[in-house]
Structure 1
Amino acid sequence: MEIISALTVYTEGNTYHSLNFKDQEGNWYNKTSNEMVKFTPDIAGDRVDRTKLCPEYKGYKMASGSVEGKHVKTPISDYYALDNSYVVTMRNEIEAYEKLGSGHPNICKYHGCQVEDNLVTGIVLDEYSEPLEDAVIDSPQRLVEQLEDAVRYIHSVGVVHGDINPKNIMVHDGNLFLIDFDSCGADNPKCGSEGYMSPNYAKTEADDWYAVGKVKEFVMKSARSNDEPRGDRPQQGTAESAA
């Protein structure tokens, strides 16, 4: 058995831990549990119909060479296959990256797709280790300007991100990178994140700009917190730090 992907899903007050894996013949399986699932060579699970997880390959850029040091985004759980929404989610993300190409330095670099049996089984992207929400922000205005420039670019090629928030923005060597275009498309049930969605959210350019404004607030607040003398910061465990 070979692991494909792992995911923890939070929905309606419940938590599901899910693993996708495949056997030597290339058949896919899924194991989902309320408890953390440990992957072992003899793991057993339910057979998965890949057509309910993987979009059809339609001439997209093919990834070549080694994927070492890169992030391979794979179909993640048959939880999404209940309404085939993950096929739409993954297809729309691929098509967004195809439009974006390598035209902007602050957008996650796309290397192409992995394909098996005319199905896209992975999206190969650059790897970034630090999300904006965890980063120590030294140059807040520069990061905000990079985000604004990236958003102007994606809109110029007809892409609306739909879920701009500090988890979908990475920081590397002091630069910002916009990632996760899996909320793109009006036919995509995946939407924005709480606290970053406009009151009348409808996946428009205006919704992206509303989210940019919220990210700017987050960045500026985080930068001010970094500048505070250590003795002035709330200590872990206080009501202020837990809020």
Structure 2
Amino acid sequence: MGPPEHLGSYRLLSSLGAGGFGAVYLALDPGGRTVAVKVLHPHVAADAVAIARLAREVETMRLVRGRHVAEVLDASLTGERPYIVTRYVQGRPLNAVLSADGPLAGDDLVRLARGLAEALESIHAAGVVHRDLKPANVIVSDGEPYVIDFGIACALESASVTASGAVVGTPGYLAPEVLEGRDAGPAADVFAWAATVAFAASGRQPYGTGPATAVAFRVVHREPDLSGTPSWLAPLLAECLRSDPALRPSATDLINRLDLTRPPGDRPGRRDADRPWAAAVTSEAASGSAAGTTSGAAPAVTPAGGHQGGHPGADAGDEAVTRAWRPGDPRRSVDDLRARHRRKLHRRWVAGSAVVVGLFAAAARDNLPEVSLLLLVLYGIGLLVDAGFGLAARSRERPALDAAGGVGAVAVWALLSSLFSTGTLLLAVGTVVIILLMLVFAS
């Protein structure tokens, strides 16, 4: 097996898929963190106009920061294989989620709609237009949406890239002004937001399916089909799907409107109380004024009916309570996830090693009793050292788990020695060795 492929300072691990502009790979950065590397297709890389435009836009794209966007971290647009590096979000594309689980409803739909609106607000605040928002460019992780590929479609639109006559974007999610050749602004993304949310809510494309030209014709000349979308959401979607971009709300307006419009039966303040990153707002914001947000902070949340996010059951007349969002407030920080992952790996290692050591010691008990005893002693010493590190790190779970592993190894040794013959145990040892070697080569 040859050495892993590298692209610049990034080690490519596996393919994540491919789109109209390039192939995406899971990769490791120099610090060992996972990232997504998008390598542009050769016909795009050969387009000097498109690459020059993308190079100008990348610096702006790197300014986009938001909880619901996969930020651009790095880019190299020179050489034969230009690429863009973004934050890696582990999850499934929205279209795959809908195909497997069906349309979204209730709080899940609200989380999607609001998360996408927050992403567009962050993107537009940096002066970027996504231009190709659609279910395939939305990654869903733990129920939260994350927008990928923002700004790339707009930056790569050039004569040679579209020489085949193809439209940069996806019909059904492209706004009428884009299909008619007019400039696309933030309002075009709002149109795509509505088409995406309508599809998520109903499982149906608002402009139907079929040839791209037929879908594009319906977008320009027909009204959207919003049947199947909830009654509380349909009016907002219809407003966003208007033909005149000047009549569509902004991304910030979408957030405020969604906060004031809740699905029937959704208890006011429930979503916000369950999310430590959500910020309650004062009564002035509830009356319609929009609070400004700084880059990287979550927009203000205005619970319907005057209820505050920190007090789900409060009356409308109660005093408003403000909770500011702070970095580290997300439900599960990166450090917490890493610590949980390390603990899980440690538990698996102790359990697996206890079984393997007990098996090997049992197989050697009759013919090589000294080796059998040595294996158990060495394993015990290793667990004692590991428990010492756990005590130094003030971990109570780690020493207890190591002690359980030592007892488990002795128990496996005694049990297998009494139940099975030496020949059977040696056969089991050989099987384990083969499996371990296969795992090593596979990794």
- Measured against the shorter chain, the TM-score band is 0.5 to 0.7
By how many angstroms is 1:89 displaced? 6.4
- Structure 2 residue identity aligned to 1:222: G
**Residue number in structure 2 paired with 1:123:** 84
Letter in 2 for 1:125: T
Over residues 60-112 of structure 1, what are the superposed CA-to-partner deviations in whole Å (9 max), with x where a residue is unaligned?
A: xxx64235x321112222x2255435514643662343121xx3100013332
Q: Aligned with 2:176: secondary structure? A: coil
Residue 196 of structure 1: which of 173, 182, 189 is its match?
173
> Match of 1:66?
32
Q: Tell me which protein shows more helix as a share of its residues.
A: 2
> How far off is 1:9 after superposition?
8.0
Report the AA paired with residue 117 of structure 2. Answer: E
1:130-149 to structure 2, matched below 5 A, reads 130-135=92-97, 136=101, 137=104, 139-149=108-118
Which one-letter code corresponds to 2:128 in the other structure?
Answer: V
Instruction: Please report how far the alpha carbon of residue 120 of structure 1 lies from its aligned counterpart in structure 2 after TM superposition.
Output: 8.2
CA distance in 2, matches of 1:70, 1:80: 22
Task: Find the structure with the greater CA-based Rg.
Answer: 2
Shift of 1:203: 1.9
Q: What is the match of residue 170 of structure 1? A: 139
Give the distance between the partners of 1:211 and 1:74, measured in 2 at CA. 25
CA contact (8 A) 1:93 1:184 kept: no
> What is the CA-CA distance between 1:124 and the residue it aligns to?
2.2
Q: Does 1:91 align with 2:55?
A: yes
Distance 1:113 1:83, change over 3 A: closer
Cα distance in 1, alignment partners of residues 172 and 60 from structure 2: 24
Distance 1:150 1:75, change over 3 A: same
1:131–1:169: 8 Å Cα contact kept in structure 2? yes
Corresponding residue SS for 1:87? helix
- In the TM superposition, residue 216 of structure 1 has moved relative to its aligned partner by 1.2
In the aligned structure 2, how far is the partner of 1:222 from the partner of 1:74?
A: 32
Answer yes or no: is the 8 Å Cα contact 2:175–2:192 preserved in 1: yes
Q: Using structure 2 for the length normalisation, give the TM-score.
A: 0.33
Deviates more, 1:121-130 or 1:158-167: 121-130
Contact 1:131 1:167 in 2 (8 A): yes
Specify which of 109, 121, 129 is matched with residue 71 of structure 2. Answer: 109
Secondary structure in structure 1 of the residue aligned to 2:203: helix
- Contact 2:131–2:188 (CA under 8 A) maintained in structure 1: yes
Partners of 1:183 and 1:109 lie apart in 2 by 15
8 Å contact from structure 2 (residues 44, 50) kept in 1: yes
Letter matched to residue 196 of structure 1: Y
- One-letter amino acid of the structure 2 residue matched with residue 212 of structure 1: W
- Identify the residue that residue 50 of structure 1 maps to in structure 2: none
Distance 1:213 1:200, change over 3 A: same
- What are the superposed Cα offsets for residues 94-137 of structure 1, whole Å, 9 maximum, x if unpaired? 2343121xx310001333235877x9843222323411111144
TM-score (norm 1): 0.57
Residue 188 of structure 2 corresponds to residue 207 of structure 1: yes
% identical equivalent positions: 24
Q: Distance in 2 between matches of 1:9 and 1:127?
A: 16
Aligned twin of 1:24: none
Q: 1:199 to 1:116 in 2, by over 3 A?
A: closer
Q: Distance in 1 between matches of 2:56 and 2:110?
A: 31
* One-letter identity of the residue aligned with 2:144: N
